Structure 1
């Protein structure tokens, strides 16, 4: 079944869309009904009704979500010798002043606070 969508008008396309949505709802209802019948047959094989089994099932209670605590900022580990207000924790990307100091030959241990 091939439909040429490009040659259809907007009204025809909207009608087709409505028909497809209705067909999908019908198919879903049919599948649900078939699944229920299959489950009832399976439960009957063991001598139960589907209602008996669903009553025995424990209901999972949803636990309330606990908001995560904000991470505390790390303490600075290194400071720029030329400007002590510029610091770095030692985590993440190295700042330019740190990289430049190391390239000049200053040991990272000398930059520690």
Structure 2
């Protein structure tokens, strides 16, 4: 991939994809770490909540949708739809168009 030969639109599209991929990567790494910690605690006869002050560790849902122009805005598909998602759907985009 030669970045010097890409036009501005192609570079911006690539930037959106990289930003979303990095966020998704971080979420996957956190989930994997939590799973490993839970397994170690379970093997030793404990639960992870025994080490977190009695509170069960809560992980954020991985994002499933990304803003078409601002990759920093994502939505997991849970809870209320963000306004940017509603606006995109109203403008003719589909959920598949916004999926990561």
**TM-score, structure 1 normalization:** 0.46
Which 4+ runs in 1 deviate beyond 2 A? none
1:30 matched residue in structure 2 = 28
What is the CA distance between 1:46 and its match in structure 2? Answer: 1.2
> In 2, Cα distance between the equivalents of 1:21 and 1:4?
19
> In 1, Cα distance between the equivalents of 2:16 and 2:40?
36
- What is the total number of aligned residue pairs between the two structures? 54
> In 2, Cα distance between the equivalents of 1:14 and 1:43?
44
Which structure has the higher relative contact order (CA within 8 Å, separation 6+)? 2
1:107 matched residue in structure 2 = none
What is the CA distance between 1:27 and its match in structure 2? Answer: 0.8
Which sections of structure 1, spanning at least 5 residues, go unmatched? 57-113
2:43 matched residue in structure 1 = 45
What is the CA distance between 1:5 and its match in structure 2? Answer: 0.3
1:19 paired with 2:17, answer yes
What is the CA distance between 1:43 and its match in structure 2? Answer: 0.5
* SS at structure 2 position matched to 1:48: coil
> In 2, Cα distance between the equivalents of 1:44 and 1:55?
16
Greater gyration radius: 1
**TM-score, structure 2 normalization:** 0.52
